[in-house]
Structure 1
Amino acid sequence: MNSPTSTATMAPPAVHLIDVHKTYPGAEPVHAVRGVSLALPTGSFTAVMGPSGSGKSTLLSCAAGLDTPTSGRILVGDREIGSLSSDALTRFRREHVGFVFQSYNLIGHLTVIDNIRLPMVLARREPDPGWLAELVAAVGLTGLEDRRPGELSGGQAQRVAIARALLPRPTVVLADEPTGALDSRTGTQVLEVLRETARRLGQTVVVVTHDPRVAAAADRVLFLADGRLVDQLDQPTVEQITARMIALGR
């Protein structure tokens, strides 16, 4: 199929994958990603779906530079991340790639505000106080800045993770099942925070999800099966997404 591109904007891609393959060696090699090419426009909100084992999380990890593809090229902004050394890639990810995990990955002894600031502390950069305050307010954490993760609900903890990912103003924010550990109501609220905050900031977001309701919030849904990009929907409805997933044998 053709590489996904935006009909709403001619901005250069925030993320560009070119014939990406990922194979895990073994007695029976696992071909997790097979020849995926796609271009995600700046400011777009994309969902990635597919049956279990279709390669969704592997694709996201490769795009984030957390895993190395067996072959192919990955560009984030104008940088080909496969050409970077390990140290340079780590620095690049801190500044240009925000990642939101299902398990939040917050540091238990740090306060909410210090968890949000962590990527910039590691990068030895001082966040703009005005931007930090705006972001805290945007994700609904005002008044909770001094709490620790153990004092937060799941929805609040995921909001901290979203703010942490957005703070460095990265080129792209990648989220792996960001609402998977939350109840339906809280998950909907957290998704709305991610979508609206990112949209207001012109941020590029990619979400891996199994939930058609989450995917329906995206501008575009990409469908994977057996490691291949097999279909896409623009401005989809929950019903359209559900039908495609059934056809793919979810």
Structure 2
Amino acid sequence: MSALLRRSARPRPPVLHDRTTSDPLDGDAPAALRLVDVHKSYAQGTDLVPALRGVDLVLPAGSFSAVMGPSGSGKSTFLNCAAGLDTPSSGTIHVGGVDLTGRSADDLTIFRRDHIGFVFQAYNLVPQLSVEQNIQLPLLLAGRPVDGTRQEALLEAVGLGGMALRMPGELSGGQAQRVAIARALMTSPEILFADEPTGALDSRTGRQIIQLLRDASQQTGQTVVLVTHDPVIAAVADRVLFLADGVLVGHLTAPTATEVAARMTELGGH
């Protein structure tokens, strides 16, 4: 068999009809995130398995968007590529007007550190560092001074006032996720990505976490993009984007949980 990898062929899923007549994904507001014909494939043996297939998207600055889709639809790949954590196979990605295409790993690391926040589902706290040290870490790595007043305000905002010296092993899952959010916000990123930030949390704590992100978007003008499987969580967003088989197949603006759940049923999600 040829050593060259070949692309696996799959039919594109149908585009769902939205109740909006205009496209809310491209307006007059400055674009915080722009994807143009983005493809991403992964090697599997001698095949290339597509994860994203021609995604085009514009999100305005200050918007709050949720990304949903069935398992394997490409949600995490979309988020990782948009945040510069992974490199698309083709297409272009602009964050705040800056083209990430073709940049070196070192350049992307520096750009993410200065302009992008990312909240991981698994928290990714450094267990040997205290709460405040984890929050300060991105600034210390960048050689930037720590604003103690901002740090204290963030700790209060995420409900961790008085807990700066605690270690990650002393925190509940909800508290650890709050630390991760404070860390992502500490650098005042222009855009914040969150991958299933409530996936390991109970519903009450999950709603609180999403409200924190909602407040960050409304109060500071930050753009927030999160992946979730929960229609109630998604309904907090300005818009919900739906992925299926690596293709952006629809969106809802000002969504309700019922509408989101119905759309996911159409897509075969849960």
Aligned residues: 248
* Aligned position for 2:93: 74
Say whether residues 1:224 and 2:243 are aligned partners.
yes
How far has the Cα of 1:198 moved from its partner? 3.0
Correspondent of 2:69 among 50, 57, 78: 50
Deviation string for 1:13-66 (max 9, x for gaps)? Answer: 111111100011233321100000111111100000000000000000001111
1:47–1:207 Cα contact (<8 Å) kept: yes
**CA distance in 2: counterparts of 1:132 and 1:35, whole angstroms:** 40
Deviation string for 1:39-94 (max 9, x for gaps)? Answer: 11111000000000000000000011111000000011121112322211111111
How far has the Cα of 1:130 moved from its partner? 2.1
* Aligned position for 2:215: 196
Deviation string for 1:183-207 (max 9, x for gaps)? Answer: 1111111111221133211110000
* Aligned position for 2:38: 20
Q: Match of 1:185, as an amino acid?
A: R
**CA distance in 2: counterparts of 1:13 and 1:128, whole angstroms:** 29
Say whether residues 1:172 and 2:191 are aligned partners.
yes
Q: Match of 2:187, as an amino acid?
A: P
Say whether residues 1:235 and 2:254 are aligned partners.
yes
Q: Match of 2:196, as an amino acid?
A: E
**CA distance in 2: counterparts of 1:171 and 1:196, whole angstroms:** 14
**CA distance in 1: counterparts of 2:166 and 2:127, whole angstroms:** 10
Deviation string for 1:139-169 (max 9, x for gaps)? Answer: 1111111101111111111010001011111
Say whether residues 1:5 and 2:25 are aligned partners.
yes
2:118–2:192 Cα contact (<8 Å) kept: yes
Flag the structure with larger Rg.
2
1:4–1:38 Cα contact (<8 Å) kept: no
For the residue of structure 1 that corresponds to 2:82, the secondary structure is helix
2:65–2:237 Cα contact (<8 Å) kept: yes
* Aligned position for 2:3: none
1:1-250 aligned within 5 A: 4-5=24-25, 10-26=28-44, 27-250=46-269
Kindly, what percent of the aligned residue pairs are identical?
59
User: RMSD across aligned C-alpha pairs, in angstroms?
Assistant: 1.4
1:3–1:37 Cα contact (<8 Å) kept: no
- If the length of structure 2 is used for normalisation, what is the TM-score? 0.88
Task: Answer with 128-137 or 35-44: which moved more.
Answer: 128-137
1:3–1:39 Cα contact (<8 Å) kept: no
Q: Match of 1:84, as an amino acid?
A: R
Q: Match of 2:134, as an amino acid?
A: N
For the residue of structure 2 that corresponds to 1:124, the secondary structure is coil
Tell me, which stretches of 5 or more residues in structure 2 are unaligned? 1-14, 16-21
For the residue of structure 2 that corresponds to 1:145, the secondary structure is coil
**CA distance in 1: counterparts of 2:247 and 2:225, whole angstroms:** 17
How far has the Cα of 1:6 moved from its partner? 5.9
**CA distance in 2: counterparts of 1:132 and 1:140, whole angstroms:** 12
**CA distance in 2: counterparts of 1:55 and 1:3, whole angstroms:** 22
2:115–2:190 Cα contact (<8 Å) kept: yes
**CA distance in 1: counterparts of 2:146 and 2:65, whole angstroms:** 27
**CA distance in 2: counterparts of 1:127 and 1:45, whole angstroms:** 27
Q: Match of 1:206, as an amino acid?
A: V
